[in-house]
Chains A and B, each alone.
Chain A
Amino acid sequence: MAFQILLNVVLAFLWMFIKVSYDPISFVKGYIFGLLVIFVLRRYFHSRFYLFRLWSFIKLIFIFIKELILSNVAIVKIVLKPTLDMRPAIFAMDTELTKDWQITLLSSLITLTPGTLVIDVSEDNKTLFIHAMNIGEVEAEINSIKNSFEKAILEVSR
């Protein structure tokens, strides 16, 4: 992905040198034409065409915003309840993610959505230990959320 972006910038500079006009407008034009060339020749690269990955990243951001709003509403419901009948618990979750930045991103997303909190990562980076505020009713639901985050992150790094 980084290589494709670098190539695109180099192509934009090449366009500027060919046209002998060194202003931002011609850079943008060269970038767009370079994008077109890279899109046509996208099967040469090992990774996907980088706009697709950018799109999956934007999708991940939207998933995160949605989850943030929903889970905050759930927390407000719990706080305003007259009876405190939640059941906190710590459970382990196996993750398929391998790279450092993927695990960090997943942990940050889990921690930023209220109700769950990453406490520790195991030595071999395969298991996350998560503290949940209300385990009884939501463990299946939490796992579905994790799957959505994990799937989205895998989608970004494919």
Chain B
Amino acid sequence: MRKTNNIILETAVKVLLFFIALYSVYIFTAGHYYPGGGFIGGLMTAGAIVLLLITYDIKTVTKILPVNYRILTAIGLLFAIGTSAGSLIYDLPFLTHAFGDVHLPLLGELSIHTATLFDLGVYFVVVGVTMTIIQTIGEDE
């Protein structure tokens, strides 16, 4: 079978990938005030990586993103448990979240909430699990 020339797809993906990646980051950060959050952001990031997998093969994608997704899942779970257990230090019940306004020199006033870190854990777990499933199915010969 002749290998087809994927020049149009590859060039389109080169441009589109960054748009999708940035939009998934926006969706992740918008979760507190607008629709969005860790789950849908993680799925969209996984979608961007799947688009890469469709365009190139698995070897190339592991060269582009040398990430072990099982370890990423573990890191995400650690984030979630760590932010939940952090309240135990202050004698508060498990899963109590703290929030407040932090003044940073360059960015000005930022309202920071520890639920964001919990969401980051969710994000990592979703990306890791989705990519693990897809890679294990894809590598089956």
The yes or no verdict on A and B being binding partners is: yes
Chain B residues with CB below 8 A from A100, complex form: 7, 10-11
Over the window 1-17 of chain B, the binary record of Cβ atoms lying under 8 Å from chain A Cβ atoms (1 yes, 0 no) is 00011011011100000
- Say whether A101 faces chain B, with CB atoms less than 8 Å apart: yes
- Whole-angstrom distance between the alpha carbons of A123 and B6 in the complex? 9
Chain A residues with CB below 8 A from B4, complex form: 120
Chain A residues with CB below 8 A from B11, complex form: 100-101, 103-104
- Whole-angstrom distance between the alpha carbons of A112 and B12 in the complex? 15
Main secondary structure of the interface of B (DSSP, over half): helix
Q: Is the CB of B5 within 8 A of A120?
A: yes
- Say whether A125 faces chain B, with CB atoms less than 8 Å apart: yes
B37 to chain A, nearest CB (A): 32
B79 to chain A, nearest CB (A): 36
From 9 to 63 in chain B, residues with beta carbon under 8 angstroms from any chain A beta carbon are 10-12
From 59 to 99 in chain A, residues with beta carbon under 8 angstroms from any chain B beta carbon are none
Chain A residues with CB below 8 A from B12, complex form: 104
Chain B residues with CB below 8 A from A118, complex form: 8
Q: Using CB atoms, name the residue of chain B closest to A125.
A: B7
- Say whether A107 faces chain B, with CB atoms less than 8 Å apart: yes
Q: Is the CB of A121 within 8 A of B10?
A: no
Q: Using CB atoms, name the residue of chain B closest to A122.
A: B5
Q: Is the CB of B8 within 8 A of A107?
A: yes
Chain B residues with CB below 8 A from A123, complex form: 5
Q: Using CB atoms, name the residue of chain B closest to A105.
A: B11
Chain A residues with CB below 8 A from B10, complex form: 100
B5 to chain A, nearest CB (A): 5
B49 to chain A, nearest CB (A): 22
- Whole-angstrom distance between the alpha carbons of A60 and B117 in the complex? 47
Q: Using CB atoms, name the residue of chain B closest to A106.
A: B8
- Whole-angstrom distance between the alpha carbons of A120 and B5 in the complex? 7
- Whole-angstrom distance between the alpha carbons of A122 and B11 in the complex? 15
Instruction: Name, among B5, B10, B12, the residue most crowded by chain A CB atoms within 10 Å (CB to CB).
Output: B5
B35 to chain A, nearest CB (A): 31
Listed in ascending order, the chain A residues whose CB lies under 8 Å from chain B are 100-101, 103-104, 107-108, 118, 120-123, 125
Listed in ascending order, the chain B residues whose CB lies under 8 Å from chain A are 4-5, 7-8, 10-12
Q: List 10 A-B contacts (CB under 8 A).
A: A100-B11, A103-B11, A104-B7, A108-B8, A120-B5, A121-B5, A121-B7, A121-B8, A122-B5, A123-B5
The 3 closest A-B pairs by CB, nearest first: A104-B11, A100-B11, A121-B5
- Having A103-B7, A121-B7, one finds 15 other A-B pairs with CB under 8 Å, namely A100-B10, A101-B11, A103-B8, A103-B11, A104-B11, A107-B8, A118-B8, A120-B4, A120-B5, A121-B5, A121-B8, A122-B5, A123-B5, A125-B5, A125-B7
